[in-house]
Structure 1
Amino acid sequence: MSELFYNAAPNATRVAPPLPEPRRYPTQKPAQVYLFGTCVIDLFFPSAGLDAIRLLQREGIRVSFPQGQSCCGQPAYTSGYTEEAREVARAQLKLFAEDWPLVVPSGSCAGMIRHHYPELFKDEPETLAQVQALAERTYELAEFLLHVCRVELHDRGPAVKVALHTSCSARREMDTHLHGRALLAQLSQVERVEHDHESECCGFGGTFSVRMPDISGAMVLDKTRALKGSGAHQVVSADCGCLMNINGALEKQNEALRGQHLASFLWQRTGGVS
């Protein structure tokens, strides 16, 4: 809760903080973009990164993937290690120097770069302008496909019911649940089903799942129970950290239901062609 609400007198009128200005999107597709692959995709879901590249290339966009990229710094930042997070972020800044959009197949990592990098460097005016420029050209993958590429998807798969899961920060910082829903709605044979824990955390939370394993385990149990009860044949998410947690829990439960990254789902559903 904001400081405004804590400090208000008991009978004072409570005013909500102003909403951010709607994001303005380019009117034309760029010729080239950077892809920030994320450490989880690099280590555990490389196919999601490759499918993200394929989706972008199909739109006629050249994709640059700097090999030196690593973590965005979010685990250190959310654990209170601000200086360590700043050093990780500083290393990434050097890799994305050209004025190309930075596309991220993870809403939480995109949110870190777009919304928290400026906070990290607010006391370094010599770096802040570069950080703010990078933040302004950072897009989550589904957002970029929908609002910058303006994709028109043609479904070539069989009828299927899917449940969409978005990570907490992705939902609240980058609106990826809205972008994901809009892309899935373009697929004529895909029915997105609701589940009563859609807006709730799966229990991963990066280091939270390590520091609070019992609470994390209870949360993912609630999440998987809701997913199984939804009637979905498949789970789709734009964040691989959550997928790793959800799929691991489903495997332990000996369930056939599994989650897949949105990029891979879209690529496979559309047959790899436009």
Structure 2
Amino acid sequence: MSASSDQIRQSQLASWEKFSAGWKKWDDYMTGWMAPFGDAMIQQAKIGEAAQVLDIASGTGEPGLSAAARVPHGGVTLTDLSPNMLAVATDKAHHRGLTNVKTVVSDAASLPFEDGSFDAVLCRFGYIFFPDMAAAAAEHVRLGRSGARICAAVWAEPGKNQWATTIMSAIARHVDVPQAPAGAPGLFRCAAPGLMSELFSGAGLLDVGEIEVSAVMHHESPESYWELMSDVAAPVVASLAGVDASTVAKIRAEVLEAVLPGTHDGAVDFSAGATIVVGTVG
């Protein structure tokens, strides 16, 4: 792994360890609003009741824990860079009575499993952060048995993701956010049509296809939206780090004002769209 990739990995690890408290606070909410994406992945992965499933960049456990409930005679392995995030996943598995789940702290491009260990490999919103997507894809294919389905979700273009663009647009008006190089890790890095299909085909997967999935982020108030994004959204937290309190207050006021026209009975909805890509191991 190159030095630059290692630096990215270490920075991401520090961030997710820090974010784990916020994700635990909002976990029920996040599990609910992101469920359509995980459910679509599980469906595309064609997971049987005795399947061995790997969930990469699992964070606090989804969609792996949902998959575990569907494999009573199989098992699910959750992996992530962050021990703190996986600790939340372990607690959730315990509370749900899921005994067929284990966690492994690991880099997504260097996983400690034998070739052909899994019947399905899932990765929800992980590829957008991987330093080397091609290396990660090759690793995930290595771990699938013949006929295994490899399935990932990535965010679609900004226009389909109002939940992210609303707050980031306001931040950009007040904070000098460095422009990331083309292809660098970021929220919409994988949004270009066909990019993920090309990546999966290049990794040797067969019958590669994509589907579009949409969801709605619902909040009972604009203030709830601001609080959530300030707690768990990596680009928001990174952009606001070190910004003085008065500027943060101005940004917050702008966000709330921008949201108000779309409210109904005080509540507000935001669009969310993702691409689900799937391929089969030969």
Asked whether the two chains share a fold, i.e. TM above 0.5, the reply is no
Larger RCO (CA under 8 A, 6+ residues apart): 2
Q: What is the TM-score normalised by the length of structure 2?
A: 0.28
